[in-house]
Structure 1
Amino acid sequence: MAKKSTRGQSRQDKSRQNEKKDRTKRAINQWSQIGKTAQYLGRVSVREVLSHTFEGNSHAVQSYSENSYLFMTSDAEVARQREERFAFEPKISVVVAAYETPQERLMAMIESLYVQTYSNWEVIIVDASETNGVFQIIRMIQKKYPNLPIVYEHSKEDRGIASTFNMGLNRVESDYVAFVDHDDVLEPGALYEIVKLLNEESEADFIYTDEDMVSEDLNIYQRPCFKPDYNEELLNTNNYIGRLFVVKRELIETIGAFREEFEGAQDYDFVLRATEQARKICHIPKVLYHKRLKNVSATSNPVGKVKSAEVAAKALMQHFERIGTPCEVKMKLEQGYFRPIYKADKFKQLLVIISGAYFEETKQITELRKFGVEIWHMPEENSGQKYVFDRKYILMIEKAAFLPSKSALEEMMGILQRPDVGAVGTKSVNAKGKVVQNGLVYFENGLVCPAFAGLKKNYKGYQGRGELTQYVSGINLYCAMLKKEAFEMTGGFLWELPHRYRAMDLCLQMKKAGYKLVQDPYVIVEMEEPEQYSTIEENRARLILKERWESELKSPDPYYNMNFEKGNARYIVRQR
């Protein structure tokens, strides 16, 4: 058995000693803060507060604390990285906005830079403090590390984080810029991984990584944030990019610096503008940034959080205006999360196809016909036939599903107004209130799994992914709306495959044609339990899908994360 590194072992021991105590404290603090915020908003029921509070410590991440060292850079890997040289070794400027930073925190941040395995960097610290405490710490650090490439500048006044970051940007002369908070820490291989990617992807001008949170004493690593590859629709619901992100200076010169009028949500505004103009956005699925958990007393201002959320909503609205997408932004209970409502087309552009042997002219169907919706019934024996559609949108309904409401159909049609979106999927639940599927995830062996299957229908999921609109690799066709032009770019359904694989095959065809698939968990369709596959059927379907999409399946599902368990799509952190 391989020997664990001493660095990793010490992290593991400390985590196991403190995890239970910290988890209890965190749950109490979370209840307190959510209660205060709900009281301020005056718009949430006790049921919602309880649901939000006690879902926070999901089984998906509980095991991370004691095994976090396995997700980090080992001693052997640190030594190897120090010896490696790249053909392209750009200088990276790390910009830090400091304000009355305690000595031990600023020291920890700077020392996490000092031990970087990549050496061509500088740190620019802009100090907006009223005292000279940070300045004295910097002087002490320079004496301790005389060769440290550090640039210090003091701001005459504290105008906020956006202004402070901008002062740092004015001092940047290198081609790439990273932004780090003054009391957070980096993994030793953080900048190495950035430069490694730049050597592989020369056009990358916006790069972001995974992250986690660390206790104030830097002993307990928890709440990992394993992110998808660039997911524009998910970004339209929250700033999932977080830290660490690195931007090419040329891109910053194109979009402009941080905007002070978005103080409190300055990162979100900056990220939205940067991703709009970026040539290539890349994601490194490794925990390279540790965000320090702040003392509760310093972050328990519910009014301030709501104001920041309102500023973030303003930034998102301006984003939609810039890209020319008519949209209404609704704020969710959790500050910083949003629900975009896109303007829908007219119902007379919609065709509903209900498949299966049984068909009944319900009151809802009759009402939809009055709005100009065309309704077709496709018996099972005719499912393989090709049909000519003259409507812009096609709603596919399996025999087991119930028709969504008129408002739900409008929401789905609204999402399809986006030119790059080819289809919209819905969340399917059974009579017991359990999720049948909430999107599809594929794995390299050809396996296709329904997301969040078997969990409660109101389960918010990892990082809220169970209740946020987002791009996915596949949607189920129990109830899905397709854009006619996107469907016509495909070869149609591969009827020999069972439903889940047939759906993924069609989605991969749409993706190849340049379209995105959006999962809309707000449209919930109750249905009977889906068909069950035998092992023989499943293996055959996997092999066919893998053969048809060999190049695509060589890489992990871009909207999942390689750090999650394989073989299911519940977003559970995998054991290493």
Structure 2
Amino acid sequence: MHFIKKLKPYNIQKGLRYLKHYGFKEFCVRLSERMEPEDVPYGPWYEQYRAKPEDLMKQKQHSFKHQSLISIVVPAYHTPDVFLRQMLDSLKDQSYQNWEVIIGNASPDDSHMRSILDEYAKNDARIKSVDIPDNLGISENTNAALNHASGDYIGFMDHDDLLAPDALFEIAIRLEANPDIDVFYTDEDKVSTDLSEHFQPHFKPDFNLDLLRSNNYICHFFVVKRTILKQVKGLDPKYNGAQDYDFIFRCTELSKNIVHIPRILYHWRVHNASTADNPASKLYAYEAGKKAIEDNLARSGEKGSVSMRSDYGFYNVDYALTDQPLVSILIPNKDHIDILKQCIRSLKKKTTYTNYEIIVIENNSTEPATFEYYDKLKKDGIQVLYYPESGFNYSAINNWGVKNCKGEYLLFLNNDIEVITPDFIEKMLSNCERPGIGAVGAKLYYPDNTIQHAGIIIGIGGIAGHAFLNLPRARSGYLHKASLQMNVSAVTAACMMVSRKIFDLAGGFEETLSVAFNDVDLCLRIQKAGYHNVYNPHVEMYHHESKSRGTEDSEAKARRFQTEIEFMRTNWIQLLKSGDSCYNPNLTLASWNYGLRADGKGVKPWTK
């Protein structure tokens, strides 16, 4: 029934375009993802969380100590009458009153547009239009309107889209608490041409540079402080088609205080000519987006190559190595030499980086065959260190290994990992060498080619959980996030690289956490020290999950696990309450799939 409802003539036409672009196999994967029913349908969820008339009334009654003027700039060209009216009405319906809109009208000879603009301007002095006799292109048209904006903050809209009625209030109320905010952006969704259906919500993380370099996830609704705008000098026509992408990069590069408002406050209208519904309609825009990323890298002093993904508007950044330092690969092991052999064999056979050492940390093995294998490893130049304590404590074992290795960079690797990506060290190391980067993690698969790890989300399952767990390898997940390089709060130490300097600065692994959450705790301490952790999906490995340790199948293990949960709750309670900044508070903590919250604890409209 869900599939049948979506079989509309235009969706069929759109599907044929995608089939031509992706080919049959990839098209089938994307079709199955798109047609999969939502755990929590967005339509009813949106109705539950949108601002109601009583919410808007309370907002209108709020007494501000200072009301910043917010200018909305809209480039317009032969806008259909109904779209133009609905866009302007969405502004007139705002619960915050101190705004103005500047329409850059690049079709002044359009009598229908002229009549509507004059009508609205006559009835509301906040609505202004600027004639642009020659259509100069979207960047220059926007700049022409910008020249007439007088607001303390300037927001950007497309001429066929709509603002939620509380959009400007949600900005103003935050400015009242903190007037030093440089940039705002909000969550958004898509809306059908006739406004009858809201769909495809985009719930965003807080500012996430690596995700921004993978995709213009900020997009709408973007609002910038006038002082920042003066420095960047408007939109650059060199990037037409991706002018907003470049503009967002340049604004955020200069901003110290970037605020994400986790509410759906912008509605991107879908119709036949819109990029929202037909990405292929603006192929030139994706080349411009690539250039925007390349120029951001150059201004940031980072070197990397940018390539376009087959998914329109999404990119891969492959950072350049700045050096060839020694990397120590640390592999704790207890017996199970069949698993260890597979791990070592894949490292020796596939690794393309040359300056590395493999260190097996022996932990209380008992089988003679294990020690016979160790002797063979030593003859092959692989070090075997004998951990001197009894029992299994992952944190203590690895901390001891770090003290006894030589590498400037540390690669923690489980003995049940099998390498897929030959240049995995280069890809992880090039990220680790970047300024401000802490731990770097990989994309891990179970042997059945489903995802075991694609970054860790704080709060899932109560403490932390892996994103996209059990998602088929061919799928890319919510807005392709399983396949995009981005900042995350934590990654699994089953395959994690970090510099020795940052590892020592963070204090190494917490030895109270002998088995669970030690990697999460370390990553959070790295993050707290001001570094960003990175999930790199272009590093792929098989993970034959924890075969050497077994399951939590005894009373002692269950008791130990509960103690580790309590440690995390005690030490990270504020983060668990406030939520993962690399996730979104409107998304579920009950599963891995970026579904909507069903517990009623999403972000509601502001009320007194």
Return the TM-score normalized by structure 1.
0.90
- Equivalenced residue count is 552
Going from structure 1 to structure 2, the CA distance change for 1:533 and 1:251 (only over 3 Å counts) comes to farther
Aligned counterpart in structure 2 of residue 351 of structure 1, from 318, 324, 328: 328
Question: What amino acid does structure 2 have at the position aligned with 1:478?
Answer: A
Alignment of 1:101-500 (within 5 A): 101-129=79-107, 130-143=109-122, 146-295=123-272, 304-357=281-334, 358=337, 359-360=340-341, 361-362=344-345, 364-365=347-348, 371-381=354-364, 382=387, 383=394, 384-385=396-397, 386=400, 387-388=402-403, 389-443=405-459, 447-497=463-513, 499-500=515-516
Alpha-carbon distance between aligned partners in 2 of 1:457 and 1:298, rounded to the nearest angstrom: 28
Contact 1:445 1:553 in 2 (8 A): no
Alpha-carbon distance between aligned partners in 2 of 1:229 and 1:59, rounded to the nearest angstrom: 27
Find out whether 1:552 has 2:575 as its counterpart: yes
Contact 1:351 1:394 in 2 (8 A): yes
Instruction: Classify the secondary structure of the residue corresponding to 1:50.
Output: helix
Question: What amino acid does structure 2 have at the position aligned with 1:273?
Answer: R
Instruction: Classify the secondary structure of the residue corresponding to 2:316.
Output: strand
Going from structure 1 to structure 2, the CA distance change for 1:301 and 1:226 (only over 3 Å counts) comes to closer
1:390-449: CA deviation from partner (whole Å, max 9, x where unpaired) = 322111111221245431221111111211111110111111111112111112995111
Contact 1:423 1:480 in 2 (8 A): yes
Question: What amino acid does structure 2 have at the position aligned with 1:187?
Answer: A
Contact 2:457 2:583 in 1 (8 A): yes
Alpha-carbon distance between aligned partners in 2 of 1:296 and 1:499, rounded to the nearest angstrom: 54
Query: Following TM superposition, by how much is the alpha carbon of 1:490 offset from its aligned partner in structure 2, in angstroms?
Result: 1.4
Aligned counterpart in structure 2 of residue 528 of structure 1, from 544, 552, 562: 544
Question: What amino acid does structure 2 have at the position aligned with 1:380?
Answer: N
Alpha-carbon distance between aligned partners in 1 of 2:10 and 2:40, rounded to the nearest angstrom: 13
Going from structure 1 to structure 2, the CA distance change for 1:62 and 1:309 (only over 3 Å counts) comes to farther
Tell me which residue corresponds to 1:569.
592
Query: Following TM superposition, by how much is the alpha carbon of 1:305 offset from its aligned partner in structure 2, in angstroms?
Result: 2.7
Going from structure 1 to structure 2, the CA distance change for 1:247 and 1:362 (only over 3 Å counts) comes to same
Alpha-carbon distance between aligned partners in 2 of 1:262 and 1:298, rounded to the nearest angstrom: 16
Question: What amino acid does structure 1 have at the position aligned with 2:249?
Answer: L
Contact 1:462 1:571 in 2 (8 A): yes
How high is the sequence identity, in percent, across the aligned residues? 30
Instruction: Classify the secondary structure of the residue corresponding to 1:68.
Output: helix
Contact 2:40 2:595 in 1 (8 A): no
Going from structure 1 to structure 2, the CA distance change for 1:454 and 1:493 (only over 3 Å counts) comes to same
Going from structure 1 to structure 2, the CA distance change for 1:199 and 1:19 (only over 3 Å counts) comes to farther
Instruction: Classify the secondary structure of the residue corresponding to 1:377.
Output: strand
Question: What amino acid does structure 1 have at the position aligned with 2:582?
Answer: Y
Structure with max Cα Rg: 2
Worse-matched range after superposition: 487-496 or 219-228: 487-496
Instruction: Classify the secondary structure of the residue corresponding to 1:406.
Output: coil
1:242-300: CA deviation from partner (whole Å, max 9, x where unpaired) = 11111001001111210011111100010111111112111000001111111269988
Contact 2:71 2:153 in 1 (8 A): yes
Going from structure 1 to structure 2, the CA distance change for 1:57 and 1:164 (only over 3 Å counts) comes to farther
Query: Following TM superposition, by how much is the alpha carbon of 1:87 offset from its aligned partner in structure 2, in angstroms?
Result: 2.1
Unaligned regions of 5+ residues in structure 2, if any? 365-386, 388-393, 601-608
Alpha-carbon distance between aligned partners in 1 of 2:269 and 2:259, rounded to the nearest angstrom: 24
Going from structure 1 to structure 2, the CA distance change for 1:271 and 1:302 (only over 3 Å counts) comes to closer
Tell me which residue corresponds to 2:526.
510
Contact 1:416 1:424 in 2 (8 A): yes
Going from structure 1 to structure 2, the CA distance change for 1:275 and 1:59 (only over 3 Å counts) comes to farther
Alpha-carbon distance between aligned partners in 2 of 1:174 and 1:419, rounded to the nearest angstrom: 35
Question: What amino acid does structure 2 have at the position aligned with 1:336?
Answer: G
Contact 1:19 1:65 in 2 (8 A): no
Tell me which residue corresponds to 1:83.
61
Query: Following TM superposition, by how much is the alpha carbon of 1:371 offset from its aligned partner in structure 2, in angstroms?
Result: 1.9
Contact 1:395 1:479 in 2 (8 A): yes
Query: Following TM superposition, by how much is the alpha carbon of 1:51 offset from its aligned partner in structure 2, in angstroms?
Result: 1.9
Instruction: Classify the secondary structure of the residue corresponding to 2:573.
Output: coil
Query: Following TM superposition, by how much is the alpha carbon of 1:373 offset from its aligned partner in structure 2, in angstroms?
Result: 1.2
Instruction: Classify the secondary structure of the residue corresponding to 1:402.
Output: strand
Contact 2:351 2:425 in 1 (8 A): no
Unaligned regions of 5+ residues in structure 1, if any? 1-15, 39-43
Tell me which residue corresponds to 1:97.
75
1:173-213: CA deviation from partner (whole Å, max 9, x where unpaired) = 12100111111111111000011121233321110000101
Going from structure 1 to structure 2, the CA distance change for 1:367 and 1:260 (only over 3 Å counts) comes to closer
Query: Following TM superposition, by how much is the alpha carbon of 1:25 offset from its aligned partner in structure 2, in angstroms?
Result: 5.1
1:358-406: CA deviation from partner (whole Å, max 9, x where unpaired) = 4445374277599231111112353525333432211111122124543
Query: Following TM superposition, by how much is the alpha carbon of 1:71 offset from its aligned partner in structure 2, in angstroms?
Result: 2.5
Contact 1:444 1:553 in 2 (8 A): no
Going from structure 1 to structure 2, the CA distance change for 1:500 and 1:475 (only over 3 Å counts) comes to farther
Find out whether 1:46 has 2:62 as its counterpart: no
Worse-matched range after superposition: 386-395 or 464-473: 386-395
Contact 2:325 2:408 in 1 (8 A): no
Query: Following TM superposition, by how much is the alpha carbon of 1:86 offset from its aligned partner in structure 2, in angstroms?
Result: 2.1
Contact 2:586 2:597 in 1 (8 A): yes
Instruction: Classify the secondary structure of the residue corresponding to 2:16.
Output: helix
Instruction: Classify the secondary structure of the residue corresponding to 2:418.
Output: coil
Query: Following TM superposition, by how much is the alpha carbon of 1:85 offset from its aligned partner in structure 2, in angstroms?
Result: 1.8
